[in-house]
Amino acid sequence: MDTQSEVITQALDWLDQAGHIALGWLVSPAAWSQFALLALAYLLARVMAGRLSAALTKLLTPKADAQGLFATARRFALPFLALLLPLIAYALTATGESLTRTMFGSGEVIAFGKRVFLFLAARALVSHVITDPFLHLLGKYVLIPVAALYALGLLDQITLALAETRVELGNIQFSALSLIRGVIAGSLLFWLGSWSNRQSASYIKAKQELRPATRELAVKATEIVIFGVAFLLLMSIMGIDLTAIALLGGALGVGIGLGLQQIAANFISGIILLVEGQTTVGDYVELDGGEKGTIVKMTARACVLETFDGKWIVVPNEHFITSRVINYSDQGSANRYQAEFSVSYDTDINRVPALIEAAVAALPFVLQHPDGPDCELDGFGESSVDFVLEYWVNGIDDGLNKYRSHVLFAIWNALKAEGIEMPFPQRVVHLRPAPAA
């Protein structure tokens, strides 16, 4: 209750002071002359802003299909024309204030008008220039109120009151002003960090000459540096002693050692994967547990595999380090597969290898290097002679491209064209006569 009474009393005092100042201005001839100068400065600013705005709009507006850095810069500058009127009025009023103080020794009214024009510039900036949702929110609830308090001449008093209000969190002590300033600065810093991280990630990922693993490592290293610097700057702005952060870091280290060792292991494993580059985004892998899929994302904790049926499997990074992983893409995109088929015992099997190799080699996706199609005799079955065809392709079989299906069609068509039978299982049954009674 005492605190509320003090606030109310202070507010009433401010209102009383404002009333006395306004009454003094109303009965003072010097104040009326300064009001006239303010009105003159505003009218002159409107005329100048109108002419400058028309000329600058024509100069800054690019063609509709214009691209490139210069066109982007012109489009970025166009909304700032909304600031011309209040800024020109502010500049004219500042000049008038210096002349008034020199000639008459007073200039409170014109100084108040100058601050009002600065407030109008802040409103125009938030309303017409800032388009980012977060910055617009920050401008609406922080910048405009601060500009209003400055225009009313209350900013210094409120700042002093907040600076004298102390906030204690354990051994850490800071003022309410530092807390508010830290929240605002932290919001700006981490927004800027997120924006910088997005821009740097886009720039790094566009460098196709770098290996995918190198690009991912550079993106994550940049992210850590950006947000690490933002955090340290925030601590400095809030006035928090960094030795307290060192103690917090020691406690965090103990926590990692005791309860977060799996998270730490996965994080370190992710760094090892990125540094080695043996497994990266876009690789098709098969894990020891039977999981198969293409790596579509690598995070600090896990890798995300996308299977051919569209499912996502989240695999902790540690599994890629401590277990066996088959990477079908690591040594290049060429992979060897095989297709089995059989012919009847009535076939001249000496003709089969050349026939099948020629038919499969004609398929556009089958490679001749490192080796062309190779048809080999696999064995003699109960009802057929068994062959196996080995072939090389670019990509993963039985997935998006389904090479095996095309190869089997080619084998079938080649055998049918030559009249070679692909037998089905057969049995010979001997009926023995019953023994004589």
**Residue 409 pLDDT:** 95
Mean residue pLDDT of the chain comes to: 79
Q: Which of 61-70, 189-198, 241-250, 392-401 has the lowest mean pLDDT?
A: 241-250
User: What is the fold of 280-327?
Assistant: SH3 type barrels. (2.30.30)
Mean pLDDT of 278-291: 82
Residue 198 is encoded by which pair of tokens?
Answer: 């997005």
* pLDDT of 104 over the 70 cut: no
Say which residue, 178 or 240, is predicted with more confidence.
178
Mean pLDDT of 322-347: 82
Domains of the chain: which residue ranges? 2-164, 177-259, 280-327, 334-417
* pLDDT of 25 over the 60 cut: no
**Residue 294 pLDDT:** 86
Percent of the chain with pLDDT over 70: 79
Say which residue, 195 or 211, is predicted with more confidence.
195
**Residue 27 pLDDT:** 47
Q: Which of 129-133, 256-260, 359-363 has the lowest mean pLDDT?
A: 256-260
Say which residue, 248 or 16, is predicted with more confidence.
248
CA distance 305 to 282: 9
Cis peptide before 212, with omega less than 30 degrees from 0? no
CA distance 117 to 150: 11
Alpha-carbon Rg of the chain, whole angstroms?
A: 39
CA distance 195 to 330: 33
**Residue 1 pLDDT:** 45
Say which residue, 162 or 168, is predicted with more confidence.
162
Among residues 245, 243, 246, 267, the alpha carbon closest in space to that of 256 is found at 267
Q: Which of 130-134, 340-344, 347-351, 403-407 has the lowest mean pLDDT?
A: 130-134
Classify residue 189 as exposed, middle or buried by CB count within 10 Å of its CB (0-12, 13-18, 19+).
buried
**Residue 351 pLDDT:** 93
**Residue 64 pLDDT:** 75
Q: Which amino acid is at 414?
A: A
CA distance 319 to 253: 23
Say which residue, 244 or 194, is predicted with more confidence.
194
* pLDDT of 4 over the 70 cut: no
| Residue 348, C-beta contacts closer than 8 angstroms, at least 6 positions apart | none
**Residue 102 pLDDT:** 67
Residue 85 CB coordination number (10 Å): 21
CA distance 349 to 338: 19
Q: Please answer whether residues 263 and 255 qualify as being in contact, where contact means their C-beta atoms are separated by less than 8 angstroms.
A: no
* pLDDT of 33 over the 80 cut: no
* pLDDT of 5 over the 70 cut: no
What pLDDT digit, counting tens, does each position of 108-117 carry? 777 778 888 8
Among residues 226, 208, 217, the alpha carbon closest in space to that of 298 is found at 217
**Which range is most confident: 32-36, 79-83, 199-203, 428-432?**
79-83
Cα-based angle 59, 63, 66 (whole degrees, multiple of 5): 115
CA distance 76 to 61: 10
* pLDDT of 3 over the 60 cut: no
DSSP type of residue 423: P
Q: Which amino acid is at 123?
A: R
What pLDDT digit, counting tens, does each position of 235-257 carry? 776 666 666 566 666 666 666 56
**Residue 388 pLDDT:** 96
Say which residue, 234 or 382, is predicted with more confidence.
382
The domain defined by 334-417 carries CATH number 3.30.70.100 = yes
Mean pLDDT of 19-47: 68
Reported as a pLDDT band with limits 50, 70 and 90, residue 103 is low
What pTM value is reported for the model?
Answer: 0.49
Q: Please answer whether residues 389 and 375 qualify as being in contact, where contact means their C-beta atoms are separated by less than 8 angstroms.
A: yes
Mean pLDDT of 325-343: 80
**Residue 374 pLDDT:** 94
225-262 burial code (b ≥16 CB/10 A, e <16): ebbeebeeebbebbebeeeeeeeeeeeeeeeeeeeeee
Cα-based angle 357, 362, 364 (whole degrees, multiple of 5): 130
Mean pLDDT of 392-416: 85
Q: Please answer whether residues 416 and 378 qualify as being in contact, where contact means their C-beta atoms are separated by less than 8 angstroms.
A: no
| Residue 369, C-beta contacts closer than 8 angstroms, at least 6 positions apart | 334, 392
Reported as a pLDDT band with limits 50, 70 and 90, residue 180 is confident
Say which residue, 387 or 130, is predicted with more confidence.
387
Q: Please answer whether residues 294 and 282 qualify as being in contact, where contact means their C-beta atoms are separated by less than 8 angstroms.
A: yes
CA distance 198 to 191: 11
Classify residue 136 as exposed, middle or buried by CB count within 10 Å of its CB (0-12, 13-18, 19+).
middle
* pLDDT of 85 over the 80 cut: yes
Q: Which of 115-124, 162-171, 245-254, 364-373 has the lowest mean pLDDT?
A: 245-254
CA distance 30 to 71: 50
CA distance 285 to 305: 8
Q: How many residues does the chain have?
A: 437
What pLDDT digit, counting tens, does each position of 254-267 carry? 665 666 677 778 87
DSSP alpha helix (H) spans, 65-143: 69-77, 84-104, 108-124, 133-138
* pLDDT of 234 over the 50 cut: yes
Residue 352 is encoded by which pair of tokens?
Answer: 């089969």
Classify residue 432 as exposed, middle or buried by CB count within 10 Å of its CB (0-12, 13-18, 19+).
exposed
* pLDDT of 23 over the 60 cut: no
Say which residue, 9 or 96, is predicted with more confidence.
96
DSSP type of residue 81: G
Mean pLDDT of 375-387: 92
